[in-house]
Structure 1
């Protein structure tokens, strides 16, 4: 049964679609679609998608960043990540770009880790996670602005990051998914 257990694509007839709000990063879309005998209207965040990097060094430390996130009014701990906002860019290239831009770190080895929908009831955002190893410093490639201007970078033992997630001290969903998946991958489970 485990090989058969998977999400199923479904493409209902779209009766109408509009974008009542266009944002700088993502839009709000309104679709009316036929589902069975019903016509249903749903509003959702129409998102470009993103990449997340779980960068682990030779000492089994994971690279975390802390930055201010206005909707939650916290400086939360996160993994380096970024939008898929360059048309046609390969996922691993986007991940490499984002790691360098946010942390001035490059990696020699890249492995896909997992992909998740962040909030499938309210957004079409899909996030692709990569495990990055063979890390080294890169030249300062990116001028950081706004919330990125005061990013704090920390190397944290992977086990400590997992403990902080499981204890509820770090609540960022992408961080939780990334460190838990990396732990399972690295222990061979």
Structure 2
């Protein structure tokens, strides 16, 4: 397939929406929309009590308050994902990690979006708060592994990055979370 043309339809702080004209192998041209998204990070933070630090925040796109792990957008191409992970952790929880371990990385919705997410495990937490983003109103909630599994099984955690992050962290840690 070959891209013949592209048109910027919308631009905002973290993504652009494009409409592309694609030439198929048979010669037919089609139009497809795509979202060009900045890279993102997600952080599974474990405190000294071996609890996951979850956050609850309202998400306008789904009109619900969700259980999530700390996450956010890489500010610039110069900001390394690990630096972004520490910043987001500090902004959303008031902690930084003494030990930050990469767990996984990949595309979230490659059918129409190029958002690439880096997952990290944060351990050996120490207080170092940063001011939250002006649009963030976050409630912190440390939960045990049992509580986290209960939230997953009952459908209380409906954010895919959070579910995947918890599963990745649990598999990474020898004795589990």
Deviations 1:81-104 (A, max 9, x none): 110122311111111111111111
Given that 2:68 and 2:159 are in contact with CA atoms closer than 8 Å, whether structure 1 keeps it comes out as yes
- Consecutive unaligned residues of structure 1, counting only runs of 5 or more, are 1-11
User: Unmatched 5+ residue regions in structure 2?
Assistant: none
Distance 2:64 2:73 in 1: 20
Tell me what 1:170 maps to.
Answer: 157
Match of 1:161 in 2: 148
State how far apart, in whole Å, the 1-side matches of 2:118 and 2:132 are: 25
* 1:119 matched to 2:109: yes
Aligned in 2, Cα 1:57/1:117: closer, same or farther, shift over 3 Å? Answer: same
RMSD across aligned positions (CA): 1.8
Q: 2:130 corresponds to which residue?
A: 141
Q: How many residues align?
A: 175
TM value normalised by structure 2: 0.91
Q: CA-to-partner distance for each residue in 1:129-159, whole Å, 9 max, x for gaps?
A: 0011011111x3215422x1x3101111133
Contact 1:162 1:176 in 2 (8 A): no
Q: Distance in 2 between matches of 1:141 and 1:53?
A: 16
Could you tell which deviates more after superposition, 179-188 or 167-176? 179-188
- Looking at structure 2, the residues matched to 66 and 123 of structure 1 have their Cα atoms a distance apart, in angstroms, of 25
Moved over 4 A (4+): none
Q: What TM-score results when the alignment is normalised by the length of structure 1? A: 0.85
